[in-house]
Chain A
């Protein structure tokens, strides 16, 4: 036999072996899950509805448990998990949600600017955000914080967020703080299971189902931009936003990390995030950094801008500006 061919054969064989070895554990678990689901279904059909509700719910939850990290899923797998999540929401709380897995738009890098001169502290952005993103009402989770600050104060860490009077007040300004979607985000590096990452359009997202709830990212964020679900999030069904995104405002569980996603379910459709739309003073500017004609580029070119804790090198895509 020609040694060249023989060599090739051997390489093919080892390659095949390697492949089998790599996928062995996952394949086994998958198989086990299917068998268990079938077995469970068979068992439950014998004794009626069990602790997991219907057979279908039981089977769907098994499949959900063994799905991949969102970044490793093929488009078909993304579709499947999205359908499962919709069906589970229907079975669990009898609610019709539309979960999307809309991909980032090519040639888009989202940026945000906040006008500290214009913000009057009405906090309408906060309530709009809570409603749009299905944030937990029980623990009063909020992505956005607004601080009332005196002239000369430089950091929202010394500002007052619990002001209880009519706003605006003379000689004060208002500064909004949220996730800055850093280009060099420390939170994504801290995650031990790679459940959080930056999407190509610049949005830092979390795969809620891959998160193990260790809160390393929360500790790594110098801006206190991440929120943890200490309890099962509670949202009244009547107030729930039904139009959801896998990486955005779909319902989280207890023990999962969450954060601002620039309303990924809206921004990837060309719509403005809920906070920008709700702002009554127009202090919030949102747009595509890669588009020379966008408003955000106008602000960056013509206004005095600064970034919070710029010296840390996190490279936030969130600028403050003054008129």
Chain B
């Protein structure tokens, strides 16, 4: 009983004795007004869209995707007219390597792409998703990463730590068809620690 009281007491004491920078940031609860305090911050850059989920600071933006897709809109070819070019599918999509989901649950094209309207993606629940908001697709399985991405522990901001929050989209870094990063040579080396 005494030991329990002691343990509780010492735990409480250790917490209250916490000082230094941890205490400094814990005491700071007032929001920081970026636009007033920082002069040279960039306003929201072009080619971004507001993300449909809010983060702890409100609205944030992410990079668009559509203009990075070479042959968007997809409905230019994928319509009910017949395609006259031979081997058109091979020409347009031959470079795609699909390596997503591993051997256990390999994904196919139509896991993400909408069969009826090729300009859009579609979730498991049947919701049509715009190409610019493709993060909504990834979050279906990678919900932990999606939560971290919204909060700021996964992914990265673009150029500025201050001002309106603009972050990279999932597909800015990961190829959606084979999302794992490739192995490559390091750029340099580090001398030993001491």
Q: Which residues of B from 1 to 53 have beta carbons under 8 Å from A? A: 20-21, 24-25, 28-32, 34, 37-42
Is residue A269 contacting chain B, with contact meaning CB distance below 8 A? yes
Contacting pair B181 A107 (CB below 8 A): no
Contact with B along A112-155 (1 / 0, CB 8 A): 01010010111110110000000000001010111100000000
Query: Are A282 and B168 in touch, CB under 8 angstroms?
Result: yes
Residues in B with CB closer than 8 Å to A293 are 31-32, 55-58
Whether B154 pairs with A157 at a CB distance below 8 angstroms is no
Cα A267 to Cα B21 in complex, Å, equals 19
Is B110 in contact with chain A by the CB < 8 A criterion? Answer: no
Size category of the binding interface on chain A:
35 or more
Q: How far is the CB of B78 from chain A (nearest CB, A)?
A: 33
Which stretch from B84-92, B94-102, B155-163 is at the chain A interface? B155-163
A285 at the interface (CB under 8 A from B): yes
Q: Which of B21, B38, B194 contacts A183 (CB 8 A)?
A: B21
Q: How far is the CB of B135 from chain A (nearest CB, A)?
A: 14
| Chain A contact residues, CB within 8 Å of chain B | 105-109, 111, 113, 115, 118, 120-124, 126-127, 140, 142, 144-147, 156-157, 159, 161-164, 166-168, 177, 183-184, 202, 224, 267, 269-272, 276-277, 279-282, 284-300, 302-303, 315, 317, 321, 323
List residues of B whose CB falls within 8 A of some A CB. Answer: 20-21, 24-25, 28-32, 34, 37-42, 55-58, 144, 148, 151-157, 159-163, 168, 173, 181, 183-194
Most chain A Cβ neighbours within 10 Å, of B25, B154, B184: B25
Q: Which residues of B contact A286 (CB under 8 A)?
A: 161
A167-B31 contact in complex given A285-B153, A295-B153, C-beta closer than 8 Å: no
The 4 closest A-B pairs by CB, nearest first: A295-B152, A293-B57, A161-B190, A270-B162
Distance between Cα atoms of A270 and B157 in the complex (Å): 12
Mind listing 25 A-B residue pairs with CB under 8 Å?
Answer: A109-B21, A118-B154, A123-B188, A156-B193, A159-B193, A161-B189, A161-B193, A162-B189, A162-B190, A163-B186, A167-B183, A167-B186, A224-B193, A267-B161, A270-B41, A271-B161, A277-B159, A286-B161, A289-B28, A290-B25, A293-B32, A298-B153, A299-B152, A303-B153, A323-B148
